[in-house]
Chains A and B, each alone.
Chain A
Amino acid sequence: DAGVTQSPTHLIKTRGQQVTLRCSPKSGHDTVSWYQQALGQGPQFIFQYYEEEERQRGNFPDRFSGHQFPNYSSELNVNALLLGDSALYLCASSLASTGTDTQYFGPGTRLTVL
């Protein structure tokens, strides 16, 4: 049973560039959430995708956008990168119909902005 997978593992970009991160949910899951985790902090909710639509969003600017595909995989896009966007980006998947909505996390993508 495959868990949540993310790619790439690490990424280095420069200020002003754009980045796309990818996530495949755990087998059988239909909901994907994205989190940003700064060094030494807890994860911060960015947004959640269900049925290919964003159904909830945290306090992140419009530079952060996403997409969910029919196979439930998802992408996180960040435009006009800032130094402060350097963080571990985590994807979590869950199954909406279970009622508990327990979220299972992937290993993350480490983004460094220079």
Chain B
Amino acid sequence: GESVGLHLPTLSVQEGDNSIINCAYSNSASDYFIWYKQESGKGPQFIIDIRSNMDKRQGQRVTVLLNKTVKHLSLQIAATQPGDSAVYFCAEESNDYKLSFGAGTTVTVRA
């Protein structure tokens, strides 16, 4: 079955530096991927998405890269700010409508 996982459970980054969060997936048939940010006590917040016919997509301060050959997804955050401290989840949307999430990476921004 499919599974979505993140390489590292925690990431500590200096304010102003760039952050890279990685995710591996196992279902090669998946065609839609989403990154969510979840702050303490809140629901997941949509950050950016990408379809399997793309390799890269950019948003405001964020970039998602998709490598279908090795089934790897990453989220890059430019100039990390204290407000970026949160748990980040990658999710895979299968053709049966459900989202499959990994366990998440906790990002802590050091001042």
Bound form: Cα–Cα A35–B46 in Å: 15
Q: Once the chains bind, are A102 and B97 in contact (CB under 8 Å)? A: no
Query: Roughly how many angstroms separate A41 CA and B101 CA in the complex, as a whole number?
Result: 9
Interface size class on chain B is 20 to 34
- Flag the segment in A13-21, A42-50, A74-82 that touches B: A42-50
Neighbouring B residues of A107 by C-beta, 8 Å: 41-43
Interface string of A33-69 (1 = CB under 8 A from B): 1010000111111001000000110100000000000
Residues of A within 8 A of B43 (CB): 4, 90, 105-108
State A33–B91 Cα separation when bound (angstroms): 14
Q: Across the interface, name the chain A residue whose C-beta is closest to B51.
A: A100
Given known contacts A102-B49, A105-B43, is B97 in contact with A33 (CB within 8 Å)?
yes
Number of residues from A at the complex interface, CB < 8 A: 25
Given the complex, which residues of A lie within 8 Å of B42, measured CB to CB? 107-108
Chain A residues with CB below 8 A from B104, complex form: 41-42
B99 touches A41 (CB 8 A): no
Q: A42-B102, A42-B104, A108-B43 are in contact. Are A101 and B89 (CB under 8 A)?
A: no
Given contacts A42-B89, A43-B101, contact A56 B44 (CB under 8 A): no
A42 close to B103 (CB less than 8 A) = yes
- Tell me the bound Cα distance from A44 to B104 in angstroms: 13
**Restricting to B61-84, which residues have a CB under 8 Å from any CB of A?**
none
Instruction: Using CB atoms, name the residue of chain A closest to B93.
Output: A101
Which residues on B are within 8 Å of A, measured CB to CB?
Answer: 4, 32, 34, 36, 41-46, 49, 51, 89, 91, 93, 96-104
Sample of 20 further A-B pairs with CB below 8 A, known A33-B98, A42-B91, A43-B89:
A31-B97, A33-B97, A40-B103, A42-B89, A44-B101, A45-B100, A56-B98, A58-B98, A90-B44, A100-B49, A100-B51, A101-B93, A101-B97, A102-B49, A103-B34, A103-B46, A103-B93, A105-B46, A107-B41, A107-B42
Q: B-contacting residues of A (Cβ < 8 Å)?
A: 4, 31, 33, 35, 40-45, 48, 55-56, 58, 90, 92, 100-108
